[in-house]
Structure 1
Amino acid sequence: MLPSTITTYLAQPALSLYADDAVVTDDGKTYRGRSEIASWLVTAASEYTYTTELVATRRIDANTWVAVNHLEGNFPGGTIDLQYTFTLEDNLITRLTIAP
């Protein structure tokens, strides 16, 4: 079972779920801190239209979980399974890596 921070994020990504010094890596780019992550969230949400379906989850260690989402939309290729690897501390995301 995923922690509520992650299930909330997967339903509706929000800056409030990130620690002040969080790091996000997506599509080969790294975003550090809330300011850069806020810009990334806006850009990522508006770049393409797509649907997501959670297809698998697993716990790596006490603070790290992986959620695999199947995406379908108008991005190049049209479908992809992405692994969202979350690291949490004090119920906030400190690191998120999104990769195929």
Structure 2
Amino acid sequence: MLVTIELRSNTKTLAKELDVLRKELGKPIKINSAYRTPEHNHKVGGKKNSLHVQAKAADIVVSGMTPKDVHAKILDLIACKKMAEGGLGLYNTFVHYDVRGYKARW
């Protein structure tokens, strides 16, 4: 698959934001899902307009922390302008964070 300049740029932007979280927590972040091809996104039941397809989203976990705690930390970092505003979803086993450029919560 040909990786476009836009996908590379989006990946770098997302990685930069996740690195802020990693440094603040002092722990590694496990990425369960980040960029997905449209075919893979369909196969896993992702939404057609998923930001994973644009390389703007990651589903993450942090060892020793609950998803609720990771979610709260990201909210704090966004409020302090240390991380970029974007989409933030709390799930039972992971947190979704994306760099869509505007606030979205679920």
The bucket for the TM-score relative to the shorter chain is 0.3 to 0.5
- Report the structure, 1 or 2, having the larger strand content: 1
- Report the structure, 1 or 2, having the larger helix content: 2
TM-score, reference length from structure 1? 0.35
